[in-house]
Amino acid sequence: MRWTRTLQTVDVHCAGEIGRVITGGVLNMPGSTMAEKLLYLNTVDDSLRRFLCSEPRSGPAGSFCLLTPACDPAADVGLIILQPDQAHAMSGSNAMCATTALLETGMIPMVEPETIVTFDTAAGLVRAVASCEAGKVTQVALDMPASFLARPGKVDTAEHGTIDYDLCFGGVFYALVDVAQVGLTIAPENARALATVGVALRNRIAEQEPAPHPTTPALSGLAYVMFRDTDPDGALRTCTTLRPGRADRSPCGTGSNANMAVQNAHGRVSPGDVVVSRSIIGGEFRTEFLGAAEVGPYAATRNRISGQCWIYGMTQIGLDPTDPFPLGFTLSDTWGG
């Protein structure tokens, strides 16, 4: 056997959402900041992302957490999220997966009852406080990038008429959409329909909305549509839809972060309040509103999001030099549109 590329991953899930943490085989990539590294992956060389995130080495569900040396001396490690559509600046579930993998494998020494890991991301520093007991990470609380409501918007669709949305930033840009507008509920049996409608909506909105970030151009652009609803107990029910066509299994950390900015803008929350986010399969994150902030011209919120992860495997991935699919492929029977 001869491989021209070899990588190792620790495979983790966060409330059901897969985050495969790359622990070997990648040293670094160009860029003096994490934003520059992100831009390099998305505009210069995306071969690593395509190699890992496509078939036959992967599938539509889940992400890869790329760890790099930190650019900011205040951080322990750099983090970029690789997904089938592109590389992303930040993901709450994936940051929790990375924290769990780093501590439970001993890459960073675990200290009980709490260990702090600080990630350098293109969206800013993210402080993870891991609750630890008997060698296990039992909870990860993330101090997230400041979130803000940029503006409300509308988009016309042939299927559902005019759809209202909130353009928000929670680490990446979201269009938050009340799910009743598309005639669906956030339930497992509707996952395919939600994914199809959500990705189509995202693409339609992105045609008319550049979603510029006020301070960091590498963060510009609409990433996802997140459908939202309210459960009878007051919890936020969420379904983030990801290109090319799937539903997030977790309650979505960056989306929950963005939603808190909307709640604050409408005067529905105060510092100290907690919102429970519940996923399409019933997993939960807690989002605590820590206080006010500013991002460029926008009033923003500082939030802490908590959840738990579980390691389920370790994988070695290689590339045979004769493999006809070095950058992988996707098919609509599995991946959607």
**Residues tagged active-site:** 91, 252
CA distance 231 to 293: 29
Are 38 and 89 in contact by the 8 Å Cβ rule? The answer is: yes
What are residue 113's phi and psi, to 5 degrees?
-90, -5
126-144 in b/e form (b: 16+ CB < 10 A) is: bbbbbbbeeebbebbbbbb
CA distance 152 to 206: 14
CA distance 223 to 305: 20
44-67 in b/e form (b: 16+ CB < 10 A) is: eebebbbbbbbeebbebbbbbbbb
Q: What's CA 12's distance to the chain center, in Å?
A: 14
What are residue 114's phi and psi, to 5 degrees?
-140, 140
CA distance to 40, 56, 311, per residue, from 331 (Å): 26, 11, 28
Residue type at 50 in one-letter notation: R
